[in-house]
C-alpha cells in the first residue's frame, strides 16, 4: 500500500528527536508493517528528496518558513506527488494540520483523484483560523481529531466534529522494561517556553506546593521566548533554590528525566493531545494537569492553581509507580489509520 503524507516538518534524521516525535514514531510503525510511505515535508528539513539513511522516503519541498514563496513549495509538493503516483498508484493522501498541508493535499487529491485524509494536529482548530467557518460540513468525514478536548474545540469554532478520533500511542521501544527505585526530581515540567503553555501558572502552583511542603525539587525542560521572564518570576517567588531550568534536551534525555521524576505537572491553556502526558505516564510519572488534550486519560486535572497544587501534594504522598502506565500504544494508532486507509 503506497501512502503520501504531507506535513510542515519531519525529523531530518534518526537523531532529530524533537521534530514532531509522534509523527516519526508512527512512520516507524508503518515501515515495520511494510507500508510504502512517502513523506512530503513542506518547510523542514532541507535537502534533496529520496530514501534516507533511516529508511524513510522524504521529499523536502524547501519552504523554510517563507510564506511569500509558498507557491514554490506547493509546486514542488505537487510535482513530487505526481512522480510518486506515476511510479505506483497511491492509495491515500494524508495531510497533517488543517493549514497549508491540507491545502496542498486537497490540490493533489483532486489532481490525482485519490482520497484525502487530514489529521488536526493542534491550534489549527482554534477561532483565529477564520477559514474554519467556511468549511463545508462534508469535510468532517476526512478529518481526524486527537482527543475529545480537541473535538470540542473544533466544534466550538465552526460547529463541525471530526468523523474520526485517533490518539497518539507510545511506541514499544519507548516503554521501559523497569523503572528506577529512586526519583530525585519531585516535579517536572516539559515543553516550549511560550505563552500557551502557561508556565506562569506552573510557577504559581510550585509556590503553593512549597508553602505546604518546603524543599520540593522541580525541573523545567524547554526553551523559548519566555525564558528570562520565567527566571525572573521564579526569583520573585523564592523558587530559585528549588527549580532547575534545564533548557532544551534531546528526547531520549527528556524520557530519562521523566524516569527520575515523581510528578509531571502541566498547566497549558491548550493541547490537542499532549504527547508529553503519554510519555510521562509510560516512564512512571504521575500526571497532574489542566484539563486539556488527553490529560484526563492520564492523571488528575484541575483548572485552578490551588486545585493543581493540592493534587500534586496528594500524589507526592503516594508511593512511586513501579510499572509504566501505557494508555495508548503506537501499534493501535497505526492500526486505526490503516483502517481509514482501507488496508
> How confident is the model over 181-240, as pLDDT tens digits?
999 999 999 999 999 999 999 999 999 999 999 999 999 999 999 999 999 999 999 999
C-alpha cell at 238: 523564592
Separation CA 285–CA 259 (nearest Å): 7
Q: What is the mean pLDDT of the chain?
A: 95
Indicate whether 31 pLDDT > 90.
yes
Read off the DSSP letter of residue 170: B
pLDDT in tens, 42-59: 999 998 888 898 989 999
Residue 237's alpha-carbon distances to 221, 232, 240, 277, in angstroms, are 19, 9, 8, 27
What DSSP letter does each residue of 177-202 carry, written as one string? SS--S---EEEEEES--SGGG-HHHH
Same fold, 2-169+329-341 and 173-316: yes
**Of 91, 71, 73, 123, whose CA–CA distance to 5 is shortest?**
91
pLDDT in tens, 85-125: 999 999 999 999 999 999 999 999 999 999 999 999 999 99
Task: Identify the CATH assignment for 2-169+329-341 out of 3.40.50.2000, 3.40.30.10, 3.30.750.200, 3.40.50.20.
Answer: 3.40.50.2000
Q: What is the mean pLDDT of residues 134-157?
A: 95
C-alpha cell at 128: 483565529
Indicate whether 343 pLDDT > 80.
no
**CATH number, domain 173-316:** 3.40.50.2000
Residue extents of the structural domains in the chain: 2-169+329-341, 173-316
Separation CA 195–CA 5 (nearest Å): 30
pLDDT of residue 328: 97
pLDDT of residue 139: 94
pLDDT of residue 53: 87
User: What dihedral angle (degrees, nearest 10) is formed by the CA atoms of 122, 128, 133, 135?
Assistant: -40
Mark 18-56 as b/e (b = at least 16 C-beta within 10 Å).
Answer: ebbbbbbbbbbbbeeeebebbbbbbbbbeeebeebebeb
pTM across the whole model: 0.95
Q: Residues 97, 105: contact at Cβ < 8 Å?
A: no
Separation CA 93–CA 119 (nearest Å): 11
138 by DSSP, 3-state: which? Answer: helix
Q: What is the mean pLDDT of residues 147-161?
A: 96
pLDDT of residue 5: 98
Separation CA 53–CA 14 (nearest Å): 9
pLDDT of residue 218: 98
Separation CA 231–CA 240 (nearest Å): 8
pLDDT in tens, 280-311: 999 999 999 999 999 999 999 999 999 999 99
Strand 57-60 versus strand 50-51 pairing type: antiparallel
Q: What is the mean pLDDT of residues 71-81?
A: 95
Amino acid at each position: 500500500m503506497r501512502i503520501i503524507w504531507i506535513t510542515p516538518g519531519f525529523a531530518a534524521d534518526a537523531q532529530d528527536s524533537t521534530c514532531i516525535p509522534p509523527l516519526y514514531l508512527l512512520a516507524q510503525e508503518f515501515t515495520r508493517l511494510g507500508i510504502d510511505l512517502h513523506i512530503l515535508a513542506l518547510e523542514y528539513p532541507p535537502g534533496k528528496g529520496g530514501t534516507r539513511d533511516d529508511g524513510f522516503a522524504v521529499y523536502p519541498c524547501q519552504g523554510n518558513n517563507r510564506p511569500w514563496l509558498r507557491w514554490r513549495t506547493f509546486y514542488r509538493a505537487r510535482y513530487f506527488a505526481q512522480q510518486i503516483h506515476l511510479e505506483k498508484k497511491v492509495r491515500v493522501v494524508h495531510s497533517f494540520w488543517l493549514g497549508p498541508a491540507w491545502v496542498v493535499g486537497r490540490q493533489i487529491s483532486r489532481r490525482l483523484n485519490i482520497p484525502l485524509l487530514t489529521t488536526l494536529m493542534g491550534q489549527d482548530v482554534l477561532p483565529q483560523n477564520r477559514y474554519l467557518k467556511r468549511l463545508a460540513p462534508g469535510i468532517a468525514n476526512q478529518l481526524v481529531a486527537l482527543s475529545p478536548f480537541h473535538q470540542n474545540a473544533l466544534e466550538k469554532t465552526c460547529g463541525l466534529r471530526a468523523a474520526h478520533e485517533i490518539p497518539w500511542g507510545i511506541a514499544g521501544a519507548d516503554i521501559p522494561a523497569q523503572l528506577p527505585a529512586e526519583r530525585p526530581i519531585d516535579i517536572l515540567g516539559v515543553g516550549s517556553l511560550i505563552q500557551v503553555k502557561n508556565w506562569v501558572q506552573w510557577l504559581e502552583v510550585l509556590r503553593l506546593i512549597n508553602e505546604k511542603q518546603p524543599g520540593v525539587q522541580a525541573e523545567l525542560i524547554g526553551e523559548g521566548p519566555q525564558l528570562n521572564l520565567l527566571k525572573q518570576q521564579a526569583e520573585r517567588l523564592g523558587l530559585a533554590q528549588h527549580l532547575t531550568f534545564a533548557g532544551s534536551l534531546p528526547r531520549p534525555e527528556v524520557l530519562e528525566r521523566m524516569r527520575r521524576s515523581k510528578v509531571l505537572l502541566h498547566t497549558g491553556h491548550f493541547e490537542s493531545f499532549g504527547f508529553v502526558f503519554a510519555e510521562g505516564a509510560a516512564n512512571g510519572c504521575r500526571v497532574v494537569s489542566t484539563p486539556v488534550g488527553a490529560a484526563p486519560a492520564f492523571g488528575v486535572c484541575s483548572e485552578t492553581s490551588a486545585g493543581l497544587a493540592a493534587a500534586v501534594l496528594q500524589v507526592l504522598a503516594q508511593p512511586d509507580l513501579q510499572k509504566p502506565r501505557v494508555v495508548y500504544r503506537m501499534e493501535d494508532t497505526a492500526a486505526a489509520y490503516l483502517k481509514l486507509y482501507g488496508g
